[in-house]
Amino acid sequence: MRKHSDPGVYRITGTAAGLTEDVRGRQRRYIISMSVRTLSFILAVALWHVWTPLAWVALAAGLVLPYIAVVLANAGRENARNLPSSHLPPVVRPALGPGRERLPAEAETEADGGHSSGRG
């Protein structure tokens, strides 16, 4: 027989999200960030002759958002902090304790083959 080393038990509820789900979420965050960047550039162009200080703020946001979008999109897979640990430690079963000592009367009965000696 082959011996198996038991690495432990794992809970399925504690595992991370699937890779496709993770990639889809990061793509969604990137698209939202880049959409906000595009809107800020459009706002900067539209407000350039109306209210220049707000146009500068929108232009600055349009310049900074690509960096933020890329950093957020490339941030690695996140750990689910609210889920329990996915690893359960192996169950430790206590070993049997020492046997009880036999009384002299029990030892004598076993020596006779389990029959009483007829004394009484």
* Mean pLDDT, all residues of the chain: 75
3-state secondary structure (DSSP) of residue 86: coil
pTM value? 0.48
* Pick from 41, 67, 73: nearest CA to 56: 41
pLDDT in tens, 24-40: 888 888 888 889 899 99
Dist. CA 54–CA 42, nearest whole Å:
12
Q: Which of 78-82, 93-97, 101-105, 114-118 has the highest mean pLDDT?
A: 93-97
Task: Report the b/e string of 62-87 with b at 16+ CB within 10 A.
Answer: beebeeebeeebeeeeeeeeeeeeee
Average confidence (pLDDT) over 35-50: 91
Q: Kindly indicate the confidence band of residue 120, based on its pLDDT and cuts at 50, 70 and 90.
A: very low
